[in-house]
Amino acid sequence: MPSTSGQSFSPSLIRPFAKAGPRKDTGIRQGCPISPKLFILTTQLLALIIQNDPDLQGINIFEKEFKISKFADDTALFLRDKSMVVKALNTVSFFSRASGLCLNIKKCELLPIHTCSDFNIASIRVEPEVKYLGIVISKNMIRREDTNICSRIFDMKRSLGCWLTRDITIFGRVILSKAKGLSKLIFPCHSLYVSRSVPFDPDVCHAPSLSTCAFPIVPSCSLLCWLVFCI
């Protein structure tokens, strides 16, 4: 392994729950393809702990319980009510002692499914909307579509407009439309519900009035918790 000067590796990666251990000054270079694989392998243990914890209750939708969603280092927890937040933090603290990964509580956010009078729960901010994997998640359907869909349509139109004066073949225009246009809409449209009323003209995307979108399926006290880890 190449040497990494001045960098100490957590002994808990070698011996879980060890209070002290040998100093490690060799490891994996930054950018090595094995580095994210090791990180995902480690954080997958957290997902298994949360999924198999009977005391940590998630959200039941269509007779299926959802507790956790992970993508690389972005983790979202689905909790039944605010009493589950402390239990979730205790579980994460147990995982942190074993893995050496620390929870950055300042970057964590809570999104209540319905109204919530609390400004923070267990030192975690309660926000009206959060951003997860580049998508703004809001309880307001019009706000959600305007931010994630309509704004991208506007950017797509502006980006493609810069190429109008170029001499491009029809095949080049197809490739350009896919690269600069459709690629920006695939992920948000696949991840979010998009109503049929979404206008295709970006000039009329910004609605003057906002209405609250109801979530009748899940309990009114349910929460979404975003966790951010740092090594």
| pLDDT value of residue 225 | 58
Question: 150 lies in a domain?
Answer: yes
Enter the DSSP assignment of 3. Answer: B
Q: What residue spans of the chain are helical by DSSP H?
A: 34-51, 83-99, 141-145, 151-161, 170-177, 183-191
Question: 106 lies in a domain?
Answer: yes
Q: Tokens representing 79?
A: 């909790």
Rg over alpha carbons for the chain, rounded to the nearest Å, is 22
Domain that holds residue 82: 34-192+220-230
- Select from 73, 102, 104 the least CA-distant residue to 10: 102
Of the CA atoms within 13 Å of residue 190, those in its CB half-sphere come to 7
| pLDDT value of residue 209 | 31
Question: 85 lies in a domain?
Answer: yes
Question: 71 lies in a domain?
Answer: yes
Q: Tokens representing 183?
A: 């690629």
| pLDDT value of residue 224 | 54
Question: 46 lies in a domain?
Answer: yes
Alpha carbon distance, N-terminus to C-terminus of the chain? 19
Question: 204 lies in a domain?
Answer: no
- Select from 11, 217, 209 the least CA-distant residue to 98: 11
**How many other CB atoms are found less than 10 A from the CB of residue 139?**
17
User: In the chain, how many domains are there?
Assistant: 1
| pLDDT value of residue 16 | 54
| pLDDT value of residue 3 | 40
pTM > 0.95: yes or no:
no
Question: 73 lies in a domain?
Answer: yes
| pLDDT value of residue 192 | 81
In this prediction, the residues of the chain whose per-residue pLDDT falls under 70 are 1-30, 197-231
| pLDDT value of residue 120 | 85
